[in-house]
Structure 1
């Protein structure tokens, strides 16, 4: 357990930041799930709309430091592949 005042404050800050990051990560996962549901249903217009929403959401998570840039790029790329495969 933290002993100094600064260490106790650091623990509080880390806990608060963790909560925010959990919410952001959960939000990204929700949008990814909505996209995958649209792809699974075979609804082309809904999948396109979901992709247009999920891509900036993933990139926002990168800018906030929740997800690494390369991880986000990989996820977006794979989602785009799945969208493109629907058209073929």
Structure 2
């Protein structure tokens, strides 16, 4: 049984989504199965979007200074 999309890591969901797209693009999947795979893909996309939004919020919180303004720092200067 496949894991719920919410229980997969972002990377696992992306790999599974790529597999679903490849299967559907081949065009040899029966209609009923294609619809189930499409539905699974939609759930994977939504779960992944949620994880990306949460990650973005975490980054924004971590980069705010005491005044509440986001501080952008040149990535190369942190080496």
Question: TM-score range with shorter-chain normalisation?
Answer: 0.3 to 0.5
The two structures have a TM-score, normalised by structure 2, of: 0.45
The two structures have a TM-score, normalised by structure 1, of: 0.41
Which protein is richer in helix relative to its size? 1
Bigger Rg, structure 1 or 2: 2
